């Protein structure tokens, strides 16, 4: 069965709010089998360009788990903090 990956690309606008969001988001992954794969900061673009300097990758057992996590009350409660903290693009991939 393929895994699902949620990839977030972001530009932080408010570091204090971003720290608040990050301190709470990992706990919302656990009920859905989500695990942080990595967080990183872009060093340079080897080809093309990306408007966001930071990235996060989260692995889920399946796309349904990723969808359920995103729709969960626990995660939905964090979205206003996230929106205040950063410009974020979230994408789901299956591999």
* Residue ranges making up the domain that contains 38: 4-94
Measured in whole angstroms, the distance separating CA 42 from the mean position of its chain's CA atoms is 15
Q: What is the pLDDT of residue 38?
A: 96
**Looking at residue 28, which CATH number applies to its domain?**
3.30.70.100
Q: What is the pTM of this model?
A: 0.93
Write the CA distances from 45 to 4, 53, 70, integer angstroms: 25, 10, 29
CA dihedral 69, 72, 77, 79 (to 10 degrees): 40
The tokens describing 88, both together, are 């974020």
Confidence of residue 86 (pLDDT cuts 50, 70, 90): very high
Q: Among residues of the chain, what percentage have pLDDT more than 90?
A: 95
- Is there a contact between 85 and 13 (Cβ–Cβ < 8 Å)? yes
Per-residue pLDDT tens over the stretch 38-67:
999 999 989 998 899 999 999 999 999 999
The tally of domains found in the chain comes to: 1
pLDDT band at 1 (very low <50, low <70, confident <90, very high): confident
What percentage of residues in the chain have a pLDDT greater than 70? 100
Query: Tokens representing 60?
Result: 């889920």
């Amino acid at each position: 069965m393929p895994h699902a990956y949620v990839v977030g690309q972001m530009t932080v606008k408010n570091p204090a709010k971003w720290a608040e969001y990050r301190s709470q988001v990992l706990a919302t992954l656990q009920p859905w089998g989500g695990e942080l794969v990595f967080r990183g900061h872009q060093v340079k673009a080897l080809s093309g360009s990306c408007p966001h300097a930071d990235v996060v990758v989260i692995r889920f057992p399946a796309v349904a788990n990723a969808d359920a996590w995103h729709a969960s009350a626990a995660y939905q409660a964090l979205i206003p903090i996230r929106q205040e903290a950063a410009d974020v693009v979230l994408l789901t991939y299956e591999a």
